[in-house]
């Protein structure tokens, strides 16, 4: 046995056998790979905000003088600003390095090896990733053909085991953009587990958040992010709204300086410029509705209605992965998921009207080939 082999055996076996999360390829890498200048690439594959952040964040970042000092471990200024934005007392809010950090913390808090988490695919991949990373078991309850939750199956499965700790649900759901109804959520909140409602895209759905439901339900957690509506994906700032009893435990395990100075300053500045950012959200929603209609003009696309900043479309009569590749050759990036349920689908992020025009032109060319 070589020393290298010996050291490899020290890796946890569950991690050694674990499939890695597949993130979006970095922009500069894509530019080199495609042989297309970065400025000519239209990026519609990661649900990023095409209008970028508020201009106020650049002033805030330039004015910040304490980059050499550790950040406030409690993110006090950010939580107070979030309290004004959400209408929820700051004592119910924890800020994180993106909502991803909070997903990981929630799983760490409740799941021990052998415990289970209910996942409702197709949906955001980090729920599975963090559960498996922490030694938990994933129980998949597939969504129905229209991507709505199979509530009956969730209730049945949740009642069959005492080891199920968490149910992750997303509204609007990624990748299809469907919304969870009040009736369905109330039913799920009757279950003896923690319900984590991920509202990463809620600003694009009329801001119909269930954040205030946390005040009435001791088993509900609501997660939000600045990545989408506020255009801060590159700075990784998210937050969660929790019952007080969960907050008290999360504060024990949260990294002390988890939200950096730049991220906090940018998020606070964004919350001081909500009106401008909401105008951008409105433009994205209007463009989403237009994109949904025009995509129906292509006989090889069958789009689903969406309440988020993207549209999922079934690809008819041709290969979905091939469609993604053909568009990439023309400098237009969309998302393809190599999973059984989505092998004949693509997801298109909503861009600017000019980006939509370029996408439609490319689809015309690709469709004629």
- Structural domain ending residue among the three candidates 241, 273, 305: 273
Task: State the pLDDT confidence band at 223, using cuts at 50, 70 and 90.
Answer: very high
Q: What is the 3-state secondary structure (H, E, C) of 55-69?
A: CHHHHHHHHCCCCCC
Count up the domains in the chain and report the number.
Answer: 2
Mean pLDDT of all residues in 9-29: 82
On the question of pLDDT at 2 being above 70, the answer is no
Q: What is the CATH number of the domain that holds 171?
A: 3.40.640.10
Q: Are residues 214 and 231 in the same domain?
A: yes
Q: Are residues 119 and 259 in the same domain?
A: yes
Q: Are residues 166 and 19 in the same domain?
A: no
Q: 113, 187, 116: which is closest to 149 by C-alpha?
A: 187
Q: Bridge partners of 93? A: 241
Q: Are residues 349 and 362 in the same domain?
A: yes
Tokens of 31: 């530019």
On the question of pLDDT at 5 being above 80, the answer is no
Domain span including residue 129: 58-273
* Contact present, 176 and 148 (Cβ < 8 Å): no
Cα–Cα distance for residue pair 356/369, rounded to 1 Å:
20
Q: Are residues 97 and 221 in the same domain?
A: yes
Q: Are residues 253 and 285 in the same domain?
A: no
The model scores a pTM over 0.85: yes
How many Å separate Cα 193 from the centre of its chain? 22
Q: Over the stretch 233-285, which tens digit does the pLDDT of each residue have?
A: 999 999 999 999 999 999 999 999 999 999 999 999 999 999 999 999 999 99
Q: Over the stretch 280-301, which tens digit does the pLDDT of each residue have?
A: 999 999 999 999 999 999 999 9
The pLDDT score that the predictor gives to residue 216 is: 97
Q: Are residues 140 and 284 in the same domain?
A: no
- Helix, strand and coil in the chain, % to nearest 5: 45, 15, 40
Tokens of 337: 């998921």
Average pLDDT over the chain, rounded to an integer: 95
- Structural domain ending residue among the three candidates 273, 297, 317: 273
The pLDDT score that the predictor gives to residue 6 is: 83
Q: Are residues 329 and 197 in the same domain?
A: no
Q: Are residues 100 and 235 in the same domain?
A: yes
Q: Are residues 45 and 24 in the same domain?
A: yes
- Structural domain ending residue among the three candidates 220, 253, 273: 273
Q: Are residues 203 and 340 in the same domain?
A: no
Q: Over the stretch 184-210, which tens digit does the pLDDT of each residue have?
A: 999 999 999 999 999 999 999 987 899
Q: What is the CATH number of the domain that holds 310?
A: 3.90.1150.10
The pLDDT score that the predictor gives to residue 219 is: 98
Q: Are residues 189 and 99 in the same domain?
A: yes
């Amino acid at each position: 046995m070589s020393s290298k082999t010996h050291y490899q055996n020290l890796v946890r076996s569950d991690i050694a056998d674990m499939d890695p999360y597949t993130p979006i390829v970095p922009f500069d890498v894509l530019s080199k790979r495609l042989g297309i200048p970065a400025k000519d690439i239209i990026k519609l594959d990661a649900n990023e905000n095409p209008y970028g952040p508020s201009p106020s964040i650049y002033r805030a970042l330039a004015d910040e003088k304490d980059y050499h000092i550790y950040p406030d471990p409690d993110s006090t200024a950010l939580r107070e600003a979030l309290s004004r934005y959400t209408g929820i007392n700051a004592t119910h809010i924890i800020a994180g390095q993106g909502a991803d950090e909070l997903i990981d913390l929630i799983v760490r808090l409740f799941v021990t090896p052998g415990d289970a988490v209910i996942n409702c695919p197709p949906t955001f991949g980090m729920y599975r990733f963090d559960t498996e990373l922490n030694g938990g078991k994933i129980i998949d309850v597939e969504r129905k053909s229209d991507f709505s939750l199979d509530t009956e199956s969730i209730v049945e499965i949740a009642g069959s085991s005492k080891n199920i700790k968490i149910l992750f649900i997303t509204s609007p759901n990624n990748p299809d953009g469907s919304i969870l109804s009040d009736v369905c959520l109330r039913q799920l909140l009757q279950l003896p587990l923690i319900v984590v409602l991920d509202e990463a895209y809620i600003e694009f759905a009329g801001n119909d958040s269930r954040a205030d439901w946390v005040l009435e339900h001791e088993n509900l957690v609501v997660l939000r992010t600045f990545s989408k509506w506020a255009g801060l994906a590159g700075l990784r700032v998210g937050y969660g709204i929790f019952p007080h009893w969960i907050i008290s435990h999360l504060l024990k395990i949260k990294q002390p300086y988890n939200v950096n100075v730049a991220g906090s300053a940018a998020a606070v500045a964004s919350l001081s410029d909500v009106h401008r950012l909401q105008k951008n959200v409105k433009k994205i929603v209007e463009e989403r509705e237009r994109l949904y209609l025009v995509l129906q003009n292509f006989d090889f696309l069958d789009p689903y209605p969406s309440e988020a900043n993207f549209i999922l479309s079934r690809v008819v009569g041709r290969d979905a992965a091939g469609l993604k590749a053909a568009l990439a050759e023309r400098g237009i990036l969309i998302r393809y998921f190599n999973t059984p349920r989505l092998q004949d689908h693509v997801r298109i992020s909503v861009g600017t009207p000019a980006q939509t025009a370029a996408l439609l032109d490319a689809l015309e060319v690709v469709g004629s080939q």
